Amino acid sequence: MTKKNKTPDQLRSARWFAPDDLRAFGHRSRAMQMGYAPEEWRDRPVIAIINTWSDAQPCHMHFKSRVDDVKRGVLMAGGFPLELPALSLSESLLKPTTMLYRNMLAMDAEELLRGHPVDGVVLMGGCDKTTPGLLLGATSMNLPAIYLPAGPMLRGNWKGRTLGSGSDAWKYWDERRAGKISDRDWVDMEAGIARSYGTCMTMGTASTMTAIAEAIGMTLPGASSIPAADANHIRMSSEAGRRIVEMVWEDLTPQKIQTRKAFENAITVAMAMGCSTNAIIHLIAQARRAGQDISLDDFEKASRKVPVIANVRPSGDLYLMEDFFYAGGLPGLMNRIKPHLHLDCMTVSGRTLGENIDGAEVHNDDVIRTVDNPIYKEGALAVLKGNLAPDGCVIKPSACDPRFLKHTGPALVFDDYPSMKKAVDDPDLDVTADHVLILRNAGPQGGPGMPEWGMLPIPTKLVKQGVRDMVRLSDARMSGTSYGACILHVSPESYIGGPLALVRNGDRITLDVAARTINLDVPEAELARRRAEWKQPEQRFERGYGWMFSKHIKQANEGCDFDFLETGFGKPVGEPSIY
Ligand code: FES
């Protein structure tokens, strides 16, 4: 029996539909124009279903029908569903980078909810930026909300070999550059690496962010691990529809779920999952929207104590998300790291996290390891600071060659992606495996939008010599499916004059992951001289959304939100007038 903390006349949607006035007459008559009878909406919670389906979004193909499953649940529970389409942000097709548009989706979601007669929302996303985009908007709007993850796609397959999204594309591309993969095999791989709807099935940004949404308490228990093509996913969708109606009556809002402890749980889970480096940026932004002060230091603390126990590529070397689901999924993993979690946090299920994971089992100790037998003894990410990155940068030590965790080498610097791309194929490029490859002007403003360029390609000359990893450094991000000794998110970024802008070819750079340091071995007087000579590269946008983006985007260590969207900026926006 649902606990009702609201009466029907207290529903937000009643402002649109209930009054005996001209405006409400218009709202009711237009609902009837769509074929609905008053009995279908009167005294019922109106549930928005924000759907990021589009013909340009391969990972959300199933949302076209899944939305009907959500509606089925809403109707069963006595609600009135309204599907509202939103920006679909395909990671694979949208250029120059979806990160340029994450905040646009956040604004889209927030304003869709604000302007329409809705009482609660099911958020349908999964492909990388859609999860944070939708959650940022819903957090700011603070109506009862459930996140519905698209679910990972099935394992890729090529000649009976398992292929993982992204990770195997990078791996076999290097083999192809080394002349070891034929044209025919390459085409067959294209056909086999993404063979069902759903999100990337490695522990990339999509799987990381949906797991984080579950750990915060914003998905139904276990929802983030269910493969998109599994019938469990259909049932979970209709359950989300049923449950959101109850949440409206209970008035269970994101603010009551997204506490500081909930974000600490998310960081803990991210570490144990071997998460994507992108998690840091999105979680900081989301926490700030929720009014919680989460910073790089919280990630650093967690990384020292929480081991990586999800043996999923790219941190692991064998398994994918489908295996993770069969092994017990996120509830199983969270049960294994229980001592590190705040079990009393409330979740959308109406139960605490501890109640949700109570009794969750692990069915395969190799896929979800015990904490005594981790795949990496510390957490997935390490935050480095030093004169090259005063506000921090990030490395994923669990996914790089251990010999680079302490390294000194000469810099080889590129100012933009095209010149880097051209140079790496030059057979006469003056480079060794000890060099530190640098790409700059690729940060939030410089990219623009901080593209996933951080896994710079190993120069072809070295690939042919058998080199498969080397230290790479940038103010860009990298795909969560990428791997290697890539140091990312250098803050402040070079485009605005951060120290990365001052590096020159041949300068020595030293990184020490155990000590969490990264430094440019150049005297301060010389750096001051170079700083005085430095000129900012040309402006990226002079009009439109890009111009607004450039003016308001924050740095990576602050979550890359727009300054005017953060909690505390200006007076809160009230409910729309209905006249
Ligand atoms: Fe959509 Fe990877 S491209 S999740």
Q: What pLDDT, on a 0 to 100 scale, did the predictor assign at position 578?
A: 86
In angstroms, rounded to a whole number, what is the distance separating the alpha carbons of residues 290 and 345?
15
In angstroms, rounded to a whole number, what is the distance separating the alpha carbons of residues 521 and 467?
25
The residues that bridge with 376 in the sheet, in sequence order, are 308
Q: Which residues of the chain have pLDDT under 50?
A: none
Q: Which residues are CB-contacts of 338 (< 8 A; sequence separation ≥ 6)?
A: 354, 357
Spacing, Cα 169 to ligand 1 middle (Å): 13
Spacing, Cα 149 to ligand 1 middle (Å): 12
Spacing, Cα 207 to ligand 1 middle (Å): 9
Per-domain residue ranges of the chain: 8-154+196-357, 157-192, 382-533
| Residue of the CA atom closest to atom 1 of ligand 1 | 127
In angstroms, rounded to a whole number, what is the distance separating the alpha carbons of residues 387 and 527?
10
Distances (CA, A) of 37 to 32, 40, 72, 83, 449: 6, 6, 17, 18, 46
Q: Is the CB of 92 under 6 A from ligand 1?
A: yes
In angstroms, rounded to a whole number, what is the distance separating the alpha carbons of residues 374 and 371?
5
In angstroms, rounded to a whole number, what is the distance separating the alpha carbons of residues 237 and 242?
9
Q: Please give the class, per CATH, of domain 8-154+196-357.
A: alpha beta
Q: What pLDDT, on a 0 to 100 scale, did the predictor assign at position 50?
A: 98
In angstroms, rounded to a whole number, what is the distance separating the alpha carbons of residues 201 and 204?
8
Pick the CATH number of 382-533 from 3.50.30.80, 3.30.10.20, 3.65.10.10, 1.10.287.3510: 3.50.30.80
Q: Where is 84: in which H helix or E strand? A: strand 80-85
| Dihedral angle over CA of 567, 568, 570, 573, nearest 10 | 40
CB of 164 within 8 A of CB of 137?
A: no
Q: What pLDDT, on a 0 to 100 scale, did the predictor assign at position 567?
A: 86
Spacing, Cα 90 to ligand 1 middle (Å): 7
Q: Is the CB of 97 under 6 A from ligand 1?
A: no
Q: What pLDDT, on a 0 to 100 scale, did the predictor assign at position 579?
A: 85
Q: What pLDDT, on a 0 to 100 scale, did the predictor assign at position 167?
A: 84
Q: Is the CB of 550 under 6 A from ligand 1?
A: no
